[in-house]
Amino acid sequence: MTVAELIGRVVALYLKRELADDRSGASEGTARFTIDCLSADQTAAIAVQVLADASLRSQIEMKLPQRFLTGQGLPSEILTELPATYFRNATGEKPVLLIANTGDDEEQSLKEFTRIGASEIQEQPDLWVKIAGDGLSISELHAKWWEKAIAALQDLRAVSLERLASYVLRTREAMQKDGLPILTALGASLSALRLPKDSAFSNRVKEATRGHLSAWKREINAIFRNRACYLLKQTPSQLLLGQEDLEASFEKVKETIPVGLHPIVSDFIAAPSGWNPAAAALSECEWEQIKPLFDGVRRDKFNLGRETIQFYEEREPELISDDERVYLKNLVDRAGAAEPIEDDADFYESHRNELKEDRKLKSAWDRFVFGKPREVDDFLLGVGLAMESLFNQGDAGAKRRLKIRCDRATKKELKELMSMPAFTLRDVTPA
């Protein structure tokens, strides 16, 4: 079973539940559903599952965008050249109409349709488990634990639909092929979520609370917060880990890491930061076996003022003024300051482009001036979360204007920024 096939089966089961009452003689009109902004593979997989199920096929008329689904091998009678908005008031021969919306430009015109998008699909943990658990020897209690783990991921909005499906499939494979019990399988499959593998992870959820969503949310949130960052070569406080830091750490703790993992660790250290094949390979290693690498990273307290002075000492003296040198010396003495002051923001705004030459230093300045970034997969969601925190400041009803400035000047640079594995709102900064 592929990721797309799993998603297709979940949606088909969701539709069957929604249409449990036979609508063939219904008088309330046509029920309308829209597949909202899923990929072509996922949309096609849903169509295939609807066609394969006799009860769904008899009730649902599909009108899916032909150009979007070119090459997917779907029958021509369910494809159309007409825009999705054409079907807002159209009637069909069957009691249910299923279309696909491929972009935000049509979303506002399709409010009458019941949306089937990534969030709606992720909100069905029982359906995921019912399909992924088919053919497995899994008890009702263990299935419930599996559901709670999936629900926690959705509730935390921690992963995309495709990544969630990959994780569910990896968990199934771990039980089916490797014979692992559900708790071990959930931890052994964490690499599908871009987290280090940890077969003992689920054991930290106490048995008495494994049926509670809050217990799974707490543990899953903790590993995302404290471990995912290391695979991207960042600390939990969002500071970048340099190659020299990791090499020094590896030299200190090499004897505590299994010899068979040394080439994987070396490749990871030599690779660039961000998610890449070297990070993926490291994620397949048990966390307890690679944890010493990150525990051994030099823990000297980072002094932003001292590091910035050293940065400019290696560059042209005219880059900063005498007054700014005095400011940086004062910043050294303010090490550990909880809140930035106006002078901090002024210096950062004046020199942010220069600071980008040292990614670790720039990362530290970003965090100092703006606080911990809100990392999201969806840009508009990130803007909304940033605006929420802004509106929570100051007097209610005060007029505010959000100005978004991007230091990247060209379309090519912006495209590269948006494709980065860990895109954060500090890269597009509210001013």
Give φ, ψ of 231 to 5 degrees.
-65, -20
The arithmetic mean of pLDDT across residues 382-393, rounded, is 66
How sure is the predictor about 391, in pLDDT bands with cuts at 50, 70 and 90?
A: low
- When the pLDDT of each residue in the chain is averaged and rounded to a whole number, the result is 84
Angstrom distance (rounded) from CA 19 to CA 106: 25
Q: What is the pLDDT of residue 302?
A: 72
Quick check: 156 pLDDT over 80? yes
- Give the other-Cβ count within 10 Å of 344's Cβ: 18
Quick check: 129 pLDDT over 90? yes
Q: What is the pLDDT of residue 345?
A: 87
Quick check: 188 pLDDT over 80? yes
The residue among 300 and 126 whose pLDDT is bigger is 126
Q: What is the pLDDT of residue 424?
A: 46
Quick check: 74 pLDDT over 60? yes
Reported as a single tens digit per residue, the pLDDT across 246-304 is 998 999 999 999 999 999 999 999 999 999 999 999 999 999 999 999 987 755 567 88
Q: What is the pLDDT of residue 426?
A: 45
Quick check: 423 pLDDT over 50? no
Q: Alpha carbon 351 to chain centroid distance? A: 31
The arithmetic mean of pLDDT across residues 356-365, rounded, is 83
User: CB-hemisphere CA count at 13 Å for 315?
Assistant: 14
Tokens of 168: 């569910």
Residues 6+ apart with CB under 8 A from 263: none
DSSP string, 295-327: HTS--PPP-HHHHHHHHHHTS-GGGS-HHHHHH
Quick check: 20 pLDDT over 90? no
- Of 190, 199, 200, the closest CA to residue 224 belongs to 190
Cβ–Cβ < 8 Å for 371, 425: no
- In the chain, what's the furthest Cα-to-Cα distance? 83
Q: Of 35-44, 65-74, 285-294, 363-372, which gets the smallest average pLDDT?
A: 363-372
- Of 222, 229, 284, 288, the closest CA to residue 253 belongs to 288
The arithmetic mean of pLDDT across residues 349-368, rounded, is 85
How sure is the predictor about 25, in pLDDT bands with cuts at 50, 70 and 90?
A: very low
Angstrom distance (rounded) from CA 51 to CA 32: 17
Angstrom distance (rounded) from CA 295 to CA 279: 17
Q: What is the pLDDT of residue 60?
A: 93
Q: What is the pLDDT of residue 130?
A: 95
Q: What is the pLDDT of residue 396?
A: 53
Cβ–Cβ < 8 Å for 98, 44: no
Q: What is the pLDDT of residue 390?
A: 61
